[in-house]
Chains A and B, each alone.
Chain A
Amino acid sequence: QKEVEQDPGPLSVPEGAIVSLNCTYSNSAFQYFMWYRQYSRKGPELLMYTYSSGNKEDGRFTAQVDKSSKYISLFIRNSQPSDSATYLCAMSPPGYQKVTFGIGTKLQVIP
């Protein structure tokens, strides 16, 4: 079993839709949870970061962590064509240890 599982998609939605992206994980030691956005032929860029459980909102983006279910989500409201990219979840234990990435979900927002 992989430490981090993520559906690769692709996920195709119309402009303005609410997008839900998810990851599950098996390592209960994970405390840092991150979402990265990666455009084609670019490096990943940090989008959202959550420590331990709870929700975090930043503009159109909301990150949720449910440690009891080992499940994290990223919601994108009012999706835009510029949101078309691959979204990677990433996690790590405390103590600045190695970050483990999911395989990424490819999202396409159609105008």
Chain B
Amino acid sequence: EAGVAQSPRYKIIEKRQSVAFWCNPISGHATLYWYQQILGQGPKLLIQFQNNGVVDDSQLPKDRFSAERLKGVDSTLKIQPAKLEDSAVYLCASSLTGAPDTQYFGPGTRLTVL
């Protein structure tokens, strides 16, 4: 079974630029999550999708972050404009059932904002 795919793996941008990350979940997984992991911290949930509907986006900074899940499969996370404090690893995870013990994580995208 193929795992969660993310791209790009690394991205360096200047502050105020925009950036987009892509995630392809495990086939058949209805629930998709985006997490932000700042260096030295645990992952923080940004947004959770169930199929293509948003379940929880309470911690998403909506003035600059946006996310969509196309046809309930792939998802993109966008930051516009980026700030220095957005430097982090952005992790995508997916789950077949949405149960907390069934999340499979991708390798992450490491973003550096200069």
Contact = CB atoms under 8 A, between A and B. Distances in A.
Interface in A26-58: 32, 34, 41-46, 49
B42 A104 contact: yes
Interface in A70-111: 88, 90, 92, 96-99, 101-104
A99 B45 contact: yes
Contacts of B42: 4, 6, 88, 90, 101-104
B72 to A, nearest CB: 17
B43 A44 contact: yes
A98 B101 contact: no
A101 B43 contact: yes
A96 B107 contact: no
Nearest to A92: B100
A46 B91 CA distance: 14
B80 to A, nearest CB: 25
A43 B99 CA distance: 18
B64 interface: no
Interface string B55-79: 0101000000000000000000000
Interface residues of B, number: 24
A44 B105 CA distance: 6
Nearest to B33: A99
B9 to A, nearest CB: 9
A103 B41 CA distance: 4
A32 B102 CA distance: 11
Nearest to A104: B42
Given A96-B98, A101-B42, A103-B41, A45 B48 contact: no
B107 A46 contact: no
A35 to B, nearest CB: 10
7 contacts: A8-B40, A42-B108, A43-B108, A44-B43, A49-B101, A88-B43, A99-B100
Interface of A: 4, 6, 8, 32, 34, 41-46, 49, 88, 90, 92, 96-99, 101-104
Q: Which 6 A-B pairs have the closest CB atoms?
A: A101-B42, A43-B105, A49-B101, A92-B100, A32-B100, A96-B98
